[in-house]
Structure 1
Amino acid sequence: MTIFFTSDLHLGHANIIRFCDRPFDGVGHMNARLAELWNETVSDEDTVWVLGDVALGSLDDSLSWIGRLAGRKILVPGNHDRCWAGDRELRKGTAEARAARRDRARSRYLAAGFAEIHDEPGRFPVAGTDAVVSHFPYTGDSHGEDRYVEHRPRDDGGWVLHGHVHDTWRQRARQLNVGVDAWGGRPVAVDRLADLIDHGPRDLAPLAWPDATGHGRP
């Protein structure tokens, strides 16, 4: 069994194709290719931690892809996930109304195929250290100024595995971006992340998306 990490699939999100220069001619093409790349990489015996922003657009359609993805899937919600604790719709009304709305949102993602949902950033052992696991990095954003500052993990001098920044970097110092836009559309195995940690803090650019033949684009 292998542990993988990924994030920011943005299934069903048409604008992400242009925003991140993804090599697809439409949402249907993107969804199918992301599923293909996932299932070429992950087996049913593996576990995949999805660090947020899994699906947008028509959520019933987008979430239906989760059940087609191999492995045991664990979600750490991001700002675009309807079950994210910081979602403004989940913070409206009375405490009872908020709790009921949140339970319904979580149930929707669990029914789609996630085995677990972890609301708060946690830690995961990688290369002899307990790395923070969060949708958000310590600092940095794909839209300029840092957003959602109150939801970001505190930098305690350790490493963080995160998403949110798309193709802004693959590694920035002690921040490892596991998003599909940094890893050629595929989940990344924990052993590869351990190698990066062993090499120490540095800056690395995203890997290229594969073209239709499976090769990385120039």
Structure 2
Amino acid sequence: MTNWYTADTHFGHENVIPFCGRPFRNTGHMDTVLIENLWSKVEPEDDLWILGDFAFGSKAKEADYLAAIFGQLPGARKHLIVGNHDLDPTLALPWDSISHLAEVRDGPKKQAHTLCHYPMITWNHARRDALQLFGHVHNNWWGSRNSVNVGVDVWDFMPVRFEDITRRAKSLPVNKHWQDVEHNAKAL
């Protein structure tokens, strides 16, 4: 079983295409590619973590549309970390879990890492090399050494595994505010 992470899919949201420079003709094209990309990675026994903004726009209020998209998601378990655009119809879908913040054990040490739709400066176990995974900022910021954007806009519209995230984290700069909030902690 593998955990797969993604954020800011914005299924059905026409305006996100020009807003983020997404290479899609329309929402139908975008939705199809995002679903195909999920299926290319996520196996039937895997967990899929969507870190907010599953759908947006007028279609995000249509229960039938949302159910059709949700029904196409791969994986054994589907989890939603609530984002600012996740409305009641999205929250009513049969997710295996829904929360605003979660700690998920992953990686070789099976350490608890923090998931939130929003980037954070510090979190539980941050001093012990725990990462924070987020979305929300689309392609505006990839993150820092210990807080990584898992949104589709910075991962070629693909879900990512913890191994992918840690590899990217090592290439990102240390958060310039790390010492402000975690005095005397080693810079990750």
Q: TM-score range by the shorter chain?
A: 0.7 to 0.9
**Offset of residue 116 of structure 1:** 1.7
2:3–2:106 contact (8 Å) kept in structure 1? no
1:121–1:153 contact (8 Å) kept in structure 2? no
Q: For structure 1, which runs of at least 5 residues remain unmatched after alignment?
A: 84-103, 140-151, 204-218
Pair 1:77–1:116, CA change in 2 (3 A):
same
Q: In structure 2, give the amino acid aligned to 1:117.
A: I
The answer to whether structure 1 residue 162 and structure 2 residue 137 are counterparts is: no
C-alpha separation in 2, matches of 1:46 and 1:156 = 26
Q: In structure 2, give the amino acid aligned to 1:138.
A: M
Q: In structure 2, give the amino acid aligned to 1:125.
A: R
**Offset of residue 66 of structure 1:** 1.4
Pair 1:38–1:23, CA change in 2 (3 A):
same
C-alpha separation in 2, matches of 1:44 and 1:200 = 31
SS in 2 for 1:64: helix
Q: 1:109 aligns with which of 93, 106, 120?
A: 93
RMSD between superposed Cα atoms in Å: 2.5
Pair 1:155–1:2, CA change in 2 (3 A):
closer
The answer to whether structure 1 residue 123 and structure 2 residue 128 are counterparts is: no
Q: Percent identity?
A: 33
1:134–1:153 contact (8 Å) kept in structure 2? no
SS in 1 for 2:33: helix
Question: Paired residue for 2:48?
Answer: 48
Deviations 1:106-152 (A, max 9, x none): 3x222xxx22212x31222344443211000016xxxxxxxxxxxx9
SS in 2 for 1:35: helix
SS in 1 for 2:141: coil
Alignment TM-score, normalising by the size of structure 1: 0.67
SS in 1 for 2:93: helix
The answer to whether structure 1 residue 81 and structure 2 residue 86 are counterparts is: yes
The answer to whether structure 1 residue 190 and structure 2 residue 162 are counterparts is: yes
C-alpha separation in 2, matches of 1:170 and 1:124 = 21
C-alpha separation in 1, matches of 2:143 and 2:116 = 15
SS in 2 for 1:109: coil
Question: Paired residue for 2:186?
Answer: none
Q: In structure 1, give the amino acid aligned to 2:83.
A: G
C-alpha separation in 1, matches of 2:123 and 2:14 = 29
Q: In structure 1, give the amino acid aligned to 2:120.
A: Y
**Offset of residue 201 of structure 1:** 5.4
SS in 1 for 2:153: coil
**Offset of residue 196 of structure 1:** 4.0
1:161–1:176 contact (8 Å) kept in structure 2? yes
SS in 1 for 2:154: coil
Alignment TM-score, normalising by the size of structure 2: 0.77
Q: For structure 2, which runs of at least 5 residues remain unmatched after alignment?
A: 175-188
Pair 1:70–1:52, CA change in 2 (3 A):
same
SS in 2 for 1:176: strand
The answer to whether structure 1 residue 132 and structure 2 residue 114 are counterparts is: yes
C-alpha separation in 2, matches of 1:79 and 1:191 = 27
9-18 vs 68-77, greater mean Cα deviation: 68-77
